[in-house]
Chains A and B, each alone.
Chain A
Amino acid sequence: MRNATLRKVPTEQPAMMDSIVEVRGISKSYGNVEALRSIDLDFPRGKLTSLLGPSGCGKTTLLKIIAGLIEPDGGKVSVNGREVSKPGPERAFVFQDFALLPWATVLRNVAFGLELRGRPVAEREKVARHYIAEVGLSGFEDKYPHELSGGMRQRVGLARALSVDADVLLLDEPFSAVDEQNRRKFQEDLIRLRTNQNKTFIFVTHSIEEAVYISDRIVLLSPRPGRVSQIIEPEIDRSVDPDRIHRDKHYLDTVEEIWQGLKQYVD
């Protein structure tokens, strides 16, 4: 096994890199609560970047601003070099509470993004079936969401996001409503998917282990007001048996170091 090294990147960016999403000077307040204060971030193409931090650090708010679902008070977001303020075809969102249509089958749910774009039924169902297989749900096409477990529902949410063929996938704590065993399996699948799909992932989580396990790059946010406190690139070889990663010393060291950094924010 290759040695994993922990590389710290200065928060003042950008180094020369190909970034697909650029966030500049984003701020957002809710009433008197300052959720985000002048955030500058770059998200490298083809990588999985996690936004990690304790609750109240504004990580979901930031993700939804990138998605165009929340309007920032100031600053701008660019995707592929173009400034965006609304949802667009180059971004797809995976929701914490799945956001599946309860009255629609798995097939229709997965095809829903394409349905909204007015694609013909045959085409969108073909695409949907492909991605249903990709997330491991073949055979469940005609089930309704209430017939599925939490983990399976989130796979539907992921397949829906994949099927619109966006460059950037935005995942808002996708595993928080999934039980522990399913979460582990799902994380492994996500690592596999990322290698296959060649997409950029932006991933919000409050779990340090999860972030270190799956991310190429971790953005640590500090709360009240939400600011970027550190950027970490855990260089962990993920081609090995996933169970070995969890016991890898560098994995454990990274988790510990991040915890030491975050501890001060926990009351």
Chain B
Amino acid sequence: MNLFGYRVPMMASLLVWCVIWEIVGRLDLMLMLPPFTEVLQAAVGLVQTASWQSATVTTLRAFVMGMALSIVVGVPLGILMGRVKLADELLGMWVSIFSSAPLSALVPVLMILFGFGEKTIVAAVFLFAIWIIVLDTRAGVRHISPSLLEMARSYGASKWALYRIILWAALPEILAGIRLGLIRGVKGVVIGQLLVAIVGYGALFETFSRNFRMADFWALTIILFAFALLIAELIERLEAKVEFYAGARQ
């Protein structure tokens, strides 16, 4: 948008919303909404507490492990489905079902299978993130132009080299899948922890809301949101880097 001749970036409007938040909080217009500045102060205080630090470590560890697992399993599965018709036919239906199903309903199952601990959170992240990675990888492999593979074969590429070409050629879609997987993974970690309620941020949320520590609650929410956006932004940067040849492929 342009304002007085200057281009104002779109995300700048979030500052406007922060001001509105501050006003609404100060006037006490909404229940459980402390002023924004108070929330910021709480955030500063919160990050210095040992409980936040250990919760963050737990959450991050579960998140990273779950994501790593879903990438390590999801990308090869996607390539398999993109290359082997039978695998695609047998698995495709289930992958697309799970990619849009209310997976939160499965978290209680994870809780009884893996216990009320970190393993359940890792499994939740994995379960939330993997399907979109598989789908996008599969789509990416499907979109590779056949002439590229014929070229590789005609120059006598080995099977190993062929799959390396496939991996690189499908990279833009794979990265897009991973970015969406990360966003879903963050949701998975939060939903998992909220439901388990005694691990990491879930436990903190539980404590804050039980004791009506609203500023802390909002501070934690903001930190979480910022983290989610940061991850999405980072991966988008990476995507922009591979896009220059992604565009050239068409």
**Direct A–B touching, Cβ under 8 Å:** no
Q: Please give the residue numbers on chain B whose beta carbons come within 8 Å of chain A beta carbons, in ascending order.
A: none
Q: Please give the residue numbers on chain A whose beta carbons come within 8 Å of chain B beta carbons, in ascending order.
A: none
